[in-house]
A and B are shown apart, each in its own frame.
Chain A
Amino acid sequence: MNVIIVGCGRVGMTLAEKLNDDGNAVTVIDMLPSKVNEITSQIDVMGVVGNGATHTTLIDAGIKDADLFIAVTNSDELNLLCCMVAKKEGDCQTIARLKNPQYSNEAEYLRHELGLAMVINPEYAAAKEIARVLRFPSAIKIEPFAKGHVELIKFRLPKGSPIIGMSVKDMIVKYRANVLVCTIERGEEAHIANGDFVFAEKDVVSIVASVKNAHDFFVNINYKGHSVKNVLVAGGGVITHYLCEILQKSGIALKIVEKDEKLCETLAADYPKLDIIHGKPSDKELLLEEGVEKVGAFVALSNLDEENILLSLFAREVNNGKIVTKINRTDYDSVIRRLDLDTVITPKNVTADSILRYVRATRNAKGSNIETLYNIIEGKVEATEFIIKEDSPIVNIPLSQLKFQDNVLVASIFRDGKVIIPRGNDVILAGDSVIVVTKTVGLSDIADVLR
C-alpha cells in the first residue's frame, strides 16, 4: 500500500518504521528539512519537505497514487486540514490524529463529516490502557480481544511466586487453570511457550484467557485480583486529563501533582472532586507528604522520560503497590527493561498498533479479516485476532492436522459468546474470532501461519 504520513514527530516516526517494516511504500512530509533527513536516513521511506496541507506538497508526495493518508502533526487543526485537502486531491483513506479533548469528544462527528477513515488519539489510548491496569494491578498490561471477552494479560513473576520452578504443563494441571500461556520473556529473550517450559523468577509471562478464568487463575496463584483504591499521579498533561475522565465514575480516588498552575486550574475546574496539588512532582518531600508510600498505585506521567523513570524507581522503593511509568522514547528499550519498573506505557506504540491493524485489515486478506493486533513483545511477538470467513483454508480441520509454522500458537477461539482455549482436537469454524500468537510479525491473513 502507498502511505503518506504528515508530521515526523514521535508518532510519525514510529508509524513510518512499522508501516515500512510491514511492506508498505511510505512517504513522509514535514516542514523541517532536518526532521525529514533524519527519518529518511534511518528508514527506507521517501521524504518531502513542505507543508502537508498544501496542494503542491501533496502532489510532490504522490497523493494521486496514495491509498492511505495519515496526519500526525502536533496541531489538531493542521491534521484536519491536511486530511481534507488530501481527500479532495487523491482517492485515499485518511486518518487524523486529534489530541485536544475538545475535539476528541466530537471525534465521531468530525470523522463522519470530514470523511475520515479513523481518528486516532495516542493520549486517550494510553489513558485507557493505564485505566485497565489500575483496575487489575497484578498485570503489567492488559489487552482486550474479542470485544472484551478475551484478555491477553502480561504479568511478572515476583520472588516467591508458587509457580516458579514449575513447567507450564504441571502448572495448568495443578491449578486446573483454563488459561493459555503464550509467551515468556526472560531478559532479552522472548519464547513462545510450550508445555515443558519451566517458569523462573522475574519472567514476564503473557496469558490468554476469558475475563473470569483469568481472575480465578490470579487468585489461585496468590495475586491480588481487585482494583486499586487510590492513585497518585505525577504530571497533569493531556493523558492525565483523559485518565480522570475515564476513572471519574470508577470509585478510584485520584490525586494529581502538577507544577504548572494553569494546568492545575483547568483540571480542578473540569474535575472538582479530585485532589489537585500544585507543586513539583519531582519534589521528594511533596510526594511523601501526599502519601506516595501508602497509595495503591503511583502513575508517572510527566513530560520527561528521565523524571518518570526516576520517580517510579523511588516509588518502588517506598511503596509495594502498582507503578505505571510513561516512557516516550523506545530507543533505549533494552535498558528500560532491565530496570525494576512495573507497567510501562508508550503512547506512540499504542497508536501505531491501531493504525497497523487498520492497514493490514484494508489490505483485504481473502480468508479472514484482522480484528485486533497487539505487539506482545515489541517487534518480536505479535498477537493477531482474525475473524474467519467461510473460504479460509483452515476451516473445519482439527488443529492437530494443520501444518503450522514454527513458533505459532493458536491462543483462543471465541465462538457464540464462549471462549475456547484450543486443544488439538478443536476445529476453527467460519465466523469464529481466533487469536494467533506468532514470532513472525506482519501477518495479514490467517493462512500465513501455515507452512
Chain B
Amino acid sequence: MNFSAIRRVIGWILLFEAIFLLLPLLTAAVYWEEEFFVFLFCIALCASVGGLFLSKKLKNDAIYAKEGIVITTLCWIVLSLFGALPLYLSGADAYTSYVDALFEIVSGFTTTGATIVPTGAEVAALPKSILMWRSFSHWVGGMGVLVFMIAFLPLSGARNMYIMKAESPGPTVSKLVPKVRTTAKILYVIYAGMTAIQIILLLCGGMSFFESVNAAFATAGTGGFAIKADGFAGYSSYLQIVVTVFMLLFSINFNSYYMFGKRRWKEVLTAEVKAFLLIVFAAITAITLNVYYTNTLTSFGGALKHSAFSVSSIISTTGFVTEDFALWPMFSQILLLLIMFVGACAGSTGGGIKVSRLVVLGKSASNEIGKMLHPKQIKHVTVDGRVVEPDVVRSICAFVFLYVIVFIVSFLIISFDLNNLNYAGVENTKFMTGFSSVAATLNNIGPGLGAVGPAGSFAAYSWWSKLVFIFDMLAGRLEIFPMLLLFAPSTWRR
C-alpha cells in the first residue's frame, strides 16, 4: 500500500474543502452571521491539516486499483469528518452531538438529503450560512469531489482512472475523451452549466437569489436538503415543474449530454436512458391514477403534478417534497419504495442500484430462462448492440447481492431502535419506518416513509443507528465495494 500517495491526495482534498468552505463563509459575511468565525476557523483547520499532509515528500506516485479505492473511501470519510465541524460548532440547536452533525454532512456529501433536524420549522430557522453549506455539500458530492480534484490538479499518470472508477457511479466507467483530466473537466462544465441554467430559470419564477442557488445545488447533486419549513410545497407550480424537470435531467447519464453536444444521436438515447424514461413514465401514470381515484388529491392536474414531482424526486434520489406522500394510499407508497431501489442512471449524480445494472440483470435473467429451455443455447447479454463482458455481468450480480446484504444487516441492527422510537403514527408504521429508513439512506434519497417521511426526521434514532445510517449513505454513494473493501483485512495486508 502506497501510504505516501494516499496521504498526499487526502492533503489535497482538505485544501479543496477549505476552498469549498469559502462559499458559506461569504454567505455568513453577507448576512452578518456569527457563524463567520466558525467557518473561518474550519477553513484554517482544513488548510493547516491539509498543508501538513502535503508537506511530506512524495516518495512514489504509483496508484493501483487498491490505492484508488482506499483513497476514494478515506477521502470521503475525511471530507465528512471535517465538513461536520461547522455544523457542530455553529449555534444551531439541532446539532447537539458531533454524530448528529456528522450524519447531516454525510447526508449532504452523499447527496442523500436525510436530515437530523426534527421539524421543517427548525430547518428554516438554521443560519443562512449553514443552509448554504448543506446545499453546497450536495453540489460538491454529486459529481464527486475526487473527480473535481482530477479536473483541476495536475496529478500525474493514468492511474487517476482508478480513482475516477471508484468514485463515479455505475457498473462501468468510460471516458469521454482520451485524457482523464479533460473528461473530468467536461463533466464539471456540463454540471456547472446545467446548474447555472436552473438557477436562472428559478430566478425567472420569482424565487429569491439565495433560495434558488440553494435549490439548484440540491437538485444538481440530487441531494434534497430543503431550506424552507414546507419543502417545495409553498412554491408556485412553475417552480415545482422546473425542479421536476431538472431532477430528471440530473439523473440521466452525463455522457448523453456530451454525445448530444457532439451530435452523436445514437449514443444519446441509450438503452439505459430509454429504460429510465419508461420507468418514470409508468410510475407517474400509476401513481397519478391511484391518488386521483382514491380521492387523496381531488384535482387531476394536482395529482399529476405532485406524483410527477414525487416520482422524479424519488427515482432521481433527490428527496424534495411537495406533498407528504407518507399519507398517500398504500399502493403509491409501495411503488415509491420500490423505485427507491431503481435509482438514477449510471454516470449521473443520483444514487440507487442504477438503471443500467437493472437492464443488464434483466437481460441476463431472461437469458437464463432461455437456457433452462435450451440447455445448450449460447447467448450473450447485449446492451446498445454491444456484448456486455461476462466480467461486468458477474460484478453486477455480486454488487446487487452485497447491496441486499448491507441492507439486511443494517435493517437488523437498527431494528433494536425501532421499539424505542417516538413516532406519531399507528402501530404498523414501525416496520415501514425502519425499512424505508435504510432504503432512503442506502439509496441516497433522504426522506423515507412512516416516521422518517417527508414530515419527519432521523432525529429520534440513537447514536449507533445514526452511525449505521452514515455507513449506509457512504456505501450507497460509493457503490458498496469501496466501503466494504476498506474493512476487508486483505486490503491492508502487506
User: Does B158 lie within 8 Å of A25, measured CB to CB?
Assistant: no
Kindly provide the distance from the CB of B389 to the nearest chain A CB, expressed in whole angstroms: 6
B471 CB → nearest A CB, Å: 29
**Are A33 and B389 neighbours in the complex by a CB distance under 8 Å?**
yes
Cα A208 to Cα B423 with chains together (Å): 86
Residues in B neighbouring A27, C-beta threshold 8 A: 178
Selected interface stretch from A40-48, A193-201, A243-251, A302-310: A40-48
Once the chains bind, are B177 and A44 in contact (CB under 8 Å)?
no
Residues in B with CB closer than 8 Å to A25 are: 177-179, 182
**Contact partners of B177 in chain A: CB under 8 A:** 25, 46
Which of B175, B178, B179, B389 has the most chain A CB atoms closer than 10 A to its own CB?
B178
- Which residues of chain B from 282 to 317 have a CB within 8 Å of any chain A CB? none
**B178/A42 in contact, CB under 8 A:** no
Contacts of A26 in B (CB 8 A): 178
Nearest chain A residue, comparing its CB with the CB of B267: A60
Residue of A nearest to B158 (CB): A44
Q: How far is it, in angstroms, between the C-alpha of A270 and the C-alpha of B84 when the chains are bound?
A: 79
Is B478 interfacial (CB 8 A cutoff)?
no
**Shortest CB–CB separation between residue B141 and chain A, in angstroms?**
25
**Per-position binary interface string of chain B over residues 146-179, scored 1 when its CB falls under 8 Å from any chain A CB and 0 otherwise:** 0000000000011011100000000000110111
Nearest residue, chain B, Cβ from A3: B178
Q: How many whole Å from A148's CB to the nearest CB in chain B?
A: 37
B-side contacts of A41, CB under 8 Å: 65, 158, 161-162
Residues of A within 8 Å of B178, CB to CB, are 2, 20, 25-27, 44-46
- Residues of B close to A43: CB separation below 8 A: 158
**Which residues of chain A are within 8 angstroms of B65 by Cβ–Cβ distance?**
41
Q: Are A46 and B175 also in contact (CB < 8 A) when A25-B182, A33-B389 are?
A: yes
Q: In A289-312, which residues have CB < 8 Å from any B CB?
A: none
CA distance A46 to B158 in the complex (A): 10
How close is B175's CB to chain A, nearest CB, in angstroms? 5
Docked Cα-Cα span, A44 to B180, in Å, equals 6
What's the least CB distance linking A48 to chain B, in Å?
Answer: 10
Describe B's contact surface by its main secondary structure: loop
B72 to chain A, nearest CB (A): 16
How distant is the Cα of A20 from the Cα of B389 in the complex, in angstroms? Answer: 27
Nearest opposing residue in chain B for A50, CB measure: B386
Residue of B nearest to A28 (CB): B178
Q: Cβ of B389 and Cβ of A44 under 8 Å apart?
A: no
The verdict on A44 contacting B162 (CB below 8 Å), with A25-B177, A25-B182, A27-B178 known, is no
**CB nearest neighbor in B for A56:** B385
- In the bound complex, residues from chain A placing their C-beta under 8 Å from that of B179 are 25, 44
A46 to B179, CA, bound (A): 7
Chain A residues in 8 Å Cβ range of B158: 20, 40-45
Contacts of A42 in B (CB 8 A): 158
Chain A positions within 8 Å of B157 at CB level: 44
Give Cα distance in the complex from A40 to B160, angstroms.
11
- 8 Å CB contacts to A: which residues of B261-284? none
Would you give the 0/1 interface string for A266-292, flagging 1 where the beta carbon is closer than 8 Å to chain B?
A: 000000000000000000000000000
For A20, the chain B residues whose CB sits under 8 A away are 158, 178
- Residues of B within 8 Å of A33, CB to CB, are 389
Complexed CA–CA distance, A25 and B179 (Å):
6
Contact with B along A364-379 (1 / 0, CB 8 A): 0000000000000000
CA A26 to CA B179, docked complex, whole Å: 8
- In the complex, per-residue mask of B117-153: 1 if CB is within 8 Å of any chain A CB, else 0: 0000000000000000000000000000000000000
B163 to chain A, nearest CB (A): 12
B window 166-219: CB within 8 A of A: 174-175, 177-180, 182
B375 nearest CB across to chain A (Å): 27
CB-CB under 8 A from B174, the residues of chain A are 46
| Bound-complex Cα distance A27 to B182 (A) | 14
A1-45 with Cβ < 8 A to chain B: 2, 20, 25-27, 33, 40-45
Chain A 39-71 per-residue mask, 1 if CB under 8 angstroms from chain B, else 0: 011111110000000000000000000000000
Shortest Cβ distance from B387 into chain A, in angstroms?
9
Chain B's nearest CB lies how many Å from the CB of A359?
A: 14
Q: Output the least CB separation between A384 and chain B (Å).
A: 23
**8 Å CB contacts to A: which residues of B43-79?**
65
In the assembled complex, the Cα of A41 lies from the Cα of B65 at a distance in Å of 9
B416-440 interface code vs A (CB 8 A; 1 in, 0 out): 0000000000000000000000000
Which of A41, A44, A45, A46 has the most C-beta atoms of chain B within 10 angstroms of its own C-beta? A44
A273 shortest CB reach to chain B, Å: 50
Question: Which residue on chain B has the smallest CB distance to residue A19?
Answer: B178
Name the residue among B157, B158, B177 with the largest chain A CB count within 10 angstroms: B158
Q: In the assembled complex, how far is the CB of residue B166 from the closest CB belonging to chain A, in whole angstroms? A: 13
CA of A195 to CA of B182 in the docked complex: distance in angstroms? 44
Whole-angstrom distance between the Cβ of A119 and the nearest chain B Cβ: 25
Which residue on B lies nearest to A59, using beta carbons? Answer: B264
CA distance A90 to B105 in the complex (A): 50
Q: How far is the CA of A439 from the CA of B175 in the complex (A)?
A: 32
Chain A residue, CB-CB nearest to B389: A33
Check if B389 sits within 8 Å of A40, measured CB to CB: no
Closest to A46 in B: B178
Q: Within the complex, what minimum Cβ distance (angstroms) separates B124 from chain A?
A: 47
Mask: chain A, 106-121; 1 = CB below 8 Å from B; 0 = not: 0000000000000000
**A370 CA to B414 CA, complexed, in Å:** 69
How distant is A44 from chain B, measured CB to nearest CB, in Å? Answer: 3
In whole angstroms, how far apart are the Cα atoms of A297 and B161 in the complex?
Answer: 47
Among all A-B residue pairs, the 10 with the closest Cβ atoms: A44-B158, A46-B178, A25-B178, A43-B158, A46-B175, A45-B178, A26-B178, A27-B178, A44-B180, A25-B179
10 example contacts (A-B, Cβ-Cβ < 8 A) are as follows A20-B178, A27-B178, A41-B161, A42-B158, A43-B158, A44-B158, A44-B178, A45-B158, A46-B174, A46-B175
Additional pairs, 20, CB under 8 Å, beyond known A20-B178, A25-B182: A20-B158, A25-B179, A33-B389, A40-B158, A40-B161, A41-B65, A41-B158, A41-B161, A43-B158, A44-B158, A44-B160, A44-B161, A44-B178, A44-B179, A44-B180, A45-B158, A45-B178, A46-B174, A46-B175, A46-B178
Binding site for B on A (CB under 8 A): 2, 20, 25-27, 33, 40-46
